[in-house]
Amino acid sequence: MNIFRLTGDLSHLLAIIILLVKIWKTRSCAGISGKSQLLFALVYTTRYLDLVSTYISAYNTFMKLIFICASYATVYLIYMKFKATYDHNHDTFRVEFLILPSFVLSLLINHDFAVLEILWTFSIYLESVAILPQLFLVSKTGEAESITSHYLFALGSYRGLYLLNWIYRYYAESHYDLIAIVAGVVQTVLYCDFFYLYVTKVLKGKKLQLPA
Amino acid sequence: TSHSQTKDEL
């Protein structure tokens, strides 16, 4: 554990909490892509299956359980409890275009052709693109609430901090995992346009609005 | 192996 990984994890946790609290307090999931949240639930489920087979640490188990439970809670709020506020007309990204290529790629490029390993690899590939339905929704409506922007910033920062963690581990521990690194770079790059708008607009108190 | 170390990450 190093400072980059810890802040990355905390940033990830913060993002998930921001989203849950936002939906709960406003009793609305307007502006939130249910499809991205479904993909994240799929990502955590397929990645953390090792919960039942391998014990790593109390921290690890605790965080995995939080991520799984929070993602299902978010999906429940969007598709069940606050279904009436769900923006399904704008949430039209075709998720099969993300799920199927991620799955095929995980069959082709993995560390070991074993069920748990392929599901782990699939989750890494799918996570790298799982935010696309959300970014697509923001681009379709042309704007995002500030709280949604904070959520996206925290979620995007998490993988960026993991990249620093991997650079650190490469030098400090001679450890690296190309699958995670390449997917992490892709994931972080997808947020770059948003990061730019966040810094230039949201941090200056303006609403995130895309140029017409 | 290298990838099992990455598994302790989230």
Chain A: closest CA distance from residue B6 (Å): 7
Structure token digits, residue A37 = 């949240």
Contacts of A180 in chain B (CB under 8 A): 6, 9
Q: What is the mean pLDDT of residues A9-27?
A: 98
pLDDT beyond 90 at B2: no
Mean pLDDT of chain A: 96
pLDDT beyond 80 at A205: yes
Residues A21, A151 contacting (CB under 8 angstroms): no
Give the tens place of pLDDT for each residue, A84-123: 999 999 999 999 999 999 999 999 999 999 999 999 999 9
Contacts of A62 in chain B (CB under 8 A): none
Sign for the pseudo-dihedral over CA of A69, A140, A154, A111? positive
Long-range contacts of A17-25 (CB under 8 A, 24+ apart): A17/A70, A18/A147, A18/A150, A18/A151, A18/A154, A19/A74, A19/A151, A20/A70, A20/A73, A20/A74, A20/A77, A22/A147, A22/A148, A22/A151, A23/A74, A23/A77, A23/A78, A23/A82, A24/A77
pLDDT beyond 50 at B1: no
The domain ranges of chain A are: 3-200
Percent of chain A with pLDDT over 70: 100
Give the tens place of pLDDT for each residue, A145-187: 999 999 999 999 999 999 999 999 999 999 999 999 999 999 9
Angle (deg, nearest 10), helices A146-173 and A178-200: 140
β-partners of residue A208 are: A144
Residues A87, A31 contacting (CB under 8 angstroms): yes
Q: Does A54 touch chain B (CB under 8 A)?
A: yes
Chain B: closest CA distance from residue A123 (Å): 11
Instruction: State residue B6's pLDDT score.
Output: 79
Q: pLDDT band for position B7 (50/70/90)?
A: confident
Q: Is this prediction's ipTM beyond 0.85?
A: no
pLDDT beyond 70 at A126: yes
